């Protein structure tokens, strides 16, 4: 005890030797990080270091003065504080309800949920389940990119200078070629937006140019390619979003609204892919549909929808014409996809043909890559007529017309299976056309007397939904495909969700003839095989459920359905 008293006295005794050089060195304090809040540190009491205020300050009513000088680095994925899910003064329940009650066509999965609910088997309605999940969950954390990207994201402000953009590029210089290869090997295969040959040459020349000589619109395109490739290569969301935000900053310096170019149009298309891959939520896909409106108007402004004569002075006019056709086909492909997913009408004006009139006279389909100049342009006029009628409440498609559409689409699917080409492109095209068939047959297939009155629609609906779920499983597991192909399923997540609900509706109808082994369309597996397919999808959704509230809601809905399966 005497020793303790002596130490206490020594610690509290004012020193009288501070002027001496030796003692001066002993009085120096180490600059250590203070993890306690400033109030607990001042009072010299233990702090539990909870945030935003520690327990001691919270109990004492000093929350406002509970300040931490040491900032702990967050391990959470980047969020979007600039675009919160619910604004100040808004009721979260009303925000979600207004979205769920938004006007949609029958192509949206909501019509399937209404049918599932009408079976009077699900205890908790899908509407209330979705409202509860979205209201209680922090939907802002579902957005790797802000909801309003690429227009006005605050995170892009730090890349407004050329120096910051080039610093980002130089920091990743060693990995750039890997990112480019990953992009070209995955996204360029299924969305031929770039002129690959020219782009590769431009990348080689880029590293030799000075900062002032680089076209800022091309730089925006290049950064998006790197961001998407980075996502494929390393799944590093933080690094990928840095590329995306830098691209947004570069885009803001271009005259994209009033003097667009092909490079700018390609950049905007890449931004749609970025939003789908990075977010893949219902909210993000709705924003992609809005963005497609801008892209289509810019494309029309550039006369991309017209097969006009090549511009004077072009070195390779015919090649340029083919590139324009291919890009316009890709834009129309995006438009139909997002229209089917969101349940919103096509954004293409009704007086503008989806393709130049003579596109159907193009050369035959030699490889699968030729589909962008042959098969798809030939199919688009019919698909647009079908979509406009689906979105029209005054005009119902007759069963005979459905059978005619069905015959043409299935003939196209069969034709695509006979030519050589990338397996990934074949798979995504099959998803696209089977999703179209699913929407085409939905109204008749969900009729209570469908097996007897509309057998083709009934069996086609079930067969297409199961085929899409097999594709979902193949993409998730990478069966027969190379690379991180599970990222490809993100833009199709709501398509797969619609297929899950469709199969569930068929499964829960106890009077349905699921014991049939063959239909006029294809082989139909027995009930237990369908249950096994849904259980596999349940496992896939369970792995994704923590990534977004939308995925979690879908997973819980499927869990509810599977509980009811006998």
pLDDT, position 78: 44
472 neighbors 499 (Cβ within 8 angstroms): yes
pLDDT, position 97: 63
233 neighbors 277 (Cβ within 8 angstroms): no
Confidence tier at 478 by pLDDT (50, 70, 90): confident
122 neighbors 508 (Cβ within 8 angstroms): no
Cα 420 to its chain centre, rounded Å, is: 29
Higher pLDDT, 199 or 450: 199
Q: Which of 19-28, 424-433, 469-478, 535-544 has the highest mean pLDDT?
A: 424-433
pLDDT higher than 80, residue 394: no
pLDDT higher than 80, residue 418: yes
Q: Each residue of 246-299: pLDDT tens digit?
A: 999 999 999 999 999 999 999 999 999 999 988 767 878 889 999 999 999 999
pLDDT higher than 70, residue 19: no
Q: Which of 299-308, 322-331, 543-552 has the highest mean pLDDT?
A: 322-331
Sign, CA dihedral 142-144-150-154, equals positive
pLDDT, position 74: 42
> How is residue 71 annotated by DSSP?
P
Higher pLDDT, 92 or 20: 92
Q: Each residue of 121-154: pLDDT tens digit?
A: 555 555 565 555 555 555 555 557 888 899 988 8
pLDDT, position 92: 63
pLDDT, position 82: 43
Burial of 300 (0-12, 13-18, 19+ CB in 10 A): middle
3-state helix, strand, coil in the chain (%, to 5): 65, 0, 35
Q: What is the pTM of this model?
A: 0.80
Output the CA angle 303-223-139, nearest 5 degrees: 95
520 neighbors 544 (Cβ within 8 angstroms): no
Confidence tier at 305 by pLDDT (50, 70, 90): confident
Higher pLDDT, 87 or 15: 87
Q: Can you tell me the distance from the alpha carbon of 418 to that of 366, in angstroms, rounded to the nearest whole number?
A: 10
Confidence tier at 522 by pLDDT (50, 70, 90): low
Burial of 140 (0-12, 13-18, 19+ CB in 10 A): middle
Place of tokens 């294809």: 522
pLDDT higher than 50, residue 237: yes
Q: Each residue of 333-380: pLDDT tens digit?
A: 999 999 998 888 888 887 776 665 444 444 567 899 999 988 998 899
Q: Which CATH number fits domain 32-69: 4.10.240.10, 1.20.210.10, 3.40.50.1580, 3.40.50.880?
A: 4.10.240.10
Query: How confident is the prediction for the chain on average, in pLDDT?
Result: 80
What does the domain layout of the chain look like in residue ranges? 32-69, 107-141+441-566
Q: Each residue of 224-234: pLDDT tens digit?
A: 999 999 999 98
Sign, CA dihedral 139-141-142-147, equals positive
| Lowest-confidence pick of 157-171, 238-252, 522-536 | 522-536
Q: Can you tell me the distance from the alpha carbon of 112 to that of 319, in angstroms, rounded to the nearest whole number?
A: 45
pLDDT, position 426: 95
Q: Can you tell me the distance from the alpha carbon of 460 to that of 309, in angstroms, rounded to the nearest whole number?
A: 43
Question: Which two three-digit tokens encode residue 333?
Answer: 């492909």
| Lowest-confidence pick of 260-264, 539-543, 550-554 | 550-554
| Lowest-confidence pick of 16-20, 48-52, 307-311 | 16-20
Higher pLDDT, 124 or 404: 404
Q: What is the mean predicted confidence (pLDDT) over 459-470?
A: 92
Q: Could you tell me if residue 505 is left (phi over 0), alpha (psi between -120 and 50 degrees) or otherwise beta?
A: alpha
| Lowest-confidence pick of 30-34, 490-494, 504-508, 547-551 | 30-34
Q: Each residue of 84-120: pLDDT tens digit?
A: 555 666 666 676 666 666 677 667 767 777 776 666 5
Higher pLDDT, 196 or 318: 196
Confidence tier at 239 by pLDDT (50, 70, 90): very high
Maximum distance among all Cα pairs of the chain, rounded to whole angstroms: 105
> How is residue 484 annotated by DSSP?
S
| Cis status, amide bond into 233, omega within 30 of 0 | no
């Amino acid at each position: 005890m005497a020793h303790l008293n002596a130490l206490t006295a020594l610690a509290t005794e004012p020193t009288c030797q501070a002027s001496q050089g030796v003692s001066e060195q002993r009085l120096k304090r180490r600059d250590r990080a203070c993890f306690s809040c400033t109030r607990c540190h001042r009072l010299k009491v233990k702090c539990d270091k909870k945030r935003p205020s520690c327990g001691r300050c919270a109990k004492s009513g000093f929350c406002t003065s509970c300040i931490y000088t040491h900032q702990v680095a967050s391990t959470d994925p980047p969020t979007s504080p600039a675009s919160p899910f619910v604004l100040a003064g808004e009721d979260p329940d009303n925000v979600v309800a207004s979205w769920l009650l938004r006007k949609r066509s029958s192509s949206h999965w909501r019509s399937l949920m209404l049918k599932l609910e009408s079976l009077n088997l699900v205890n908790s309605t899908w509407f209330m389940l979705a409202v509860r999940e979205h209201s209680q969950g922090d939907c802002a954390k579902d957005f790797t990119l802000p909801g309003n990207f690429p227009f006005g994201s605050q995170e892009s402000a730090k890349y407004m200078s050329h120096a910051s953009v080039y610093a980002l590029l130089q920091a990743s210089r060693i990995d750039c070629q890997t990112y480019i290869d990953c992009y070209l090997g995955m996204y360029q295969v299924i969305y031929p937006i770039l002129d690959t040959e020219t782009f590769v040459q431009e990348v080689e020349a880029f590293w030799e140019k000075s900062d002032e000589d680089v076209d800022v619109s091309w730089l925006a395109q290049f950064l998006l390619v790197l961001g998407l490739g980075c996502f494929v290569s390393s799944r590093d969301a933080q690094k990928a979003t840095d590329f995306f935000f830098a691209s947004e900053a570069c885009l803001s310096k271009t005259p994209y609204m009033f003097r667009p170019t092909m490079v700018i149009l390609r950049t905007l298309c890449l931004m749609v892919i970025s939003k789908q891959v990075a977010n893949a939520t219902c909210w993000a896909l709705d924003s992609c549909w809005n963005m497609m409106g801008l892209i289509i108007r810019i494309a029309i402004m550039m006369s991309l929808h017209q097969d006009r004569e090549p511009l004077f002075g072009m070195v390779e006019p015919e090649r340029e014409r083919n590139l324009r056709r291919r890009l316009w086909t890709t834009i129309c492909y995006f438009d139909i996809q997002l229209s089917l997913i969101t349940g919103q009408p096509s954004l293409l004006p009704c007086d503008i043909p989806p393709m130049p009139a003579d596109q159907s006279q193009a050369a035959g389909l030699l490889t699968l890559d030729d589909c962008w100049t042959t098969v798809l342009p030939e199919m688009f006029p019919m698909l647009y007529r079908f979509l406009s009628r689906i979105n029209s409440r005054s005009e119902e498609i007759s069963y005979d017309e459905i059978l005619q559409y069905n015959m043409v689409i299935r003939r196209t699917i069969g034709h695509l299976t006979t030519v050589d080409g990338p397996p990934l492109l074949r798979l995504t095209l099959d998803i696209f056309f089977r999703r179209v068939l699913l929407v085409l047959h939905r109204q008749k297939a969900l009729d209570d007397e469908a097996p007897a009155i509309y057998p083709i629609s009934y069996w086609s609906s079930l067969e297409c939904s199961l085929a899409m779920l097999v594709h979902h499983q193949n993409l998730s597991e990478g069966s027969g495909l190379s690379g991180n192909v599970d990222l490809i399923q993100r833009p199709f997540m709501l398509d797969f969700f619609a297929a899950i609900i469709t199969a569930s509706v068929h499964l829960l109808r106890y009077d349905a003839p699921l014991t049939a082994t063959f239909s006029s369309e294809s082989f139909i597996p027995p009930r237990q095989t369908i249950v096994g397919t849904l259980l596999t999808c349940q496992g896939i959704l369970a792995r994704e459920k923590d990534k977004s509230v939308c995925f979690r809601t879908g997973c819980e809905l499927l869990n509810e359905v599977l509980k009811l399966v006998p």
